[in-house]
Amino acid sequence: MLIRFHVFLAAAVVMALGGCATPPTNIEGYRTIGEEAGLPLLRIGAFDGVAPARSQFADLLIREEYARYDADGARAELFYVTPRHENLEYVALNHRYDSSNIATKFNYLNSRQTTSTKGVGIRTDLADIWYRILTLPSEDRQCVVFNTEWDPHGEDALLRPDKVLFGYYCPPAGHKLDKAAVIETIEGIKVRDVNLRFTGDSLAIGAPAAPDVQRRLLALARGDGSGGLWGAADFPFDMAAPYGPSGADRWD
């Protein structure tokens, strides 16, 4: 398994200071997260005043967050992935998807026949975001699927990113996505503490929820019990890619 020296160092410090106890914030698991502390969001008219359902996963290396919007027939899902905190300078992300195949990550889009436009890129105040418009003939619906990554690691030989965000938005069935609606959607993609001011109490990761709550949070992000309408079956994503100062991957 890939591992980073600094993780061993952190563990050694914990053991030295507190025996073998592990701080609860370092435990791998799922966390509840309030709206003011949620990082990814979609600020568009269709979801004005709508708070998404959220689920957060974190371990020693990575932080992943899911946001689900559902309002008056419009729907959207976003995933945001980043190393656990900014001091993990030798942990990049393996993100193997782009706008041509990112739709396969979502149960809803992957289980339906779709046709797609070509990918288009837009520079926003967040990052360069690539998108495609999907048509779902069986539901008389169009969706825009988007994908971005930014902050490449300069010491990583592969220049892998520090942050990844992907998702989609679908207006209600029967509503077509014109250019203005697509631009509103792409420019409405926000990440608190990146291109939107963070107003929560703390960016720190809290302790995992109780076991039964963790099961519900995992089911929310994976879409368990939704009949293929929501979530991503392989959440949390295996993206953490520790590497050495020379840029090479580290192995234990």
39-64 confidence digits (pLDDT tens): 999 999 999 999 999 999 999 999 99
What pLDDT, on a 0 to 100 scale, did the predictor assign at position 22? 60
Query: What mean pLDDT comes out for the span 176-180?
Result: 95
pLDDT at 10 over 60: no
What pLDDT, on a 0 to 100 scale, did the predictor assign at position 85? 74
Distances in Å between the Cα of 144 and the Cα atoms of 64, 137, 168, 179 are 22, 14, 5, 11
pLDDT level of residue 202 (50, 70, 90 thresholds): confident
Q: Which H, E and C letters describe the chain, residue by residue?
A: CECCHHHHHHHHHHHHHHCCCCCHHHCCEEECCCHHHCCEEECCHHHCCCCCEEEEEECCCEEEEEEEEEECCEEEEEEEEEECCCCCCCEEECCCCCCCCHHHHCHHHHCCCCEECCCEEEECCCCEEEEEEEEEHHHCEEEEEEEEEEEECCCCCCCCEEEEEEEEEECCCCCCCCHHHHHHHHHCEEEECCCECCCCCCCCCCCCCCHHHHHHHHHHHHCCCCCCCCCCCCCCCCCEEEECCCCCECEC
Evaluate whether residue 68 is within a structural domain: yes
Quote the domain boundaries for residue 167: 5-242
- Total structural domains within the chain: 1
Evaluate whether residue 251 is within a structural domain: no
Instruction: State the maximum Cα–Cα separation within the chain, in Å, rounded to a whole number.
Output: 62
Evaluate whether residue 249 is within a structural domain: no
Within a 13 Å sphere around the CA of 5, how many CA atoms are in the beta-carbon half?
A: 8
Query: What mean pLDDT comes out for the span 127-153?
Result: 96
Evaluate whether residue 19 is within a structural domain: yes
Evaluate whether residue 247 is within a structural domain: no
What pLDDT, on a 0 to 100 scale, did the predictor assign at position 217? 97
More confident residue, 123 or 100: 123
Beta carbons of 176 and 142 less than 8 angstroms apart: yes
Evaluate whether residue 210 is within a structural domain: yes
Evaluate whether residue 250 is within a structural domain: no
Evaluate whether residue 15 is within a structural domain: yes
What pLDDT, on a 0 to 100 scale, did the predictor assign at position 251? 41
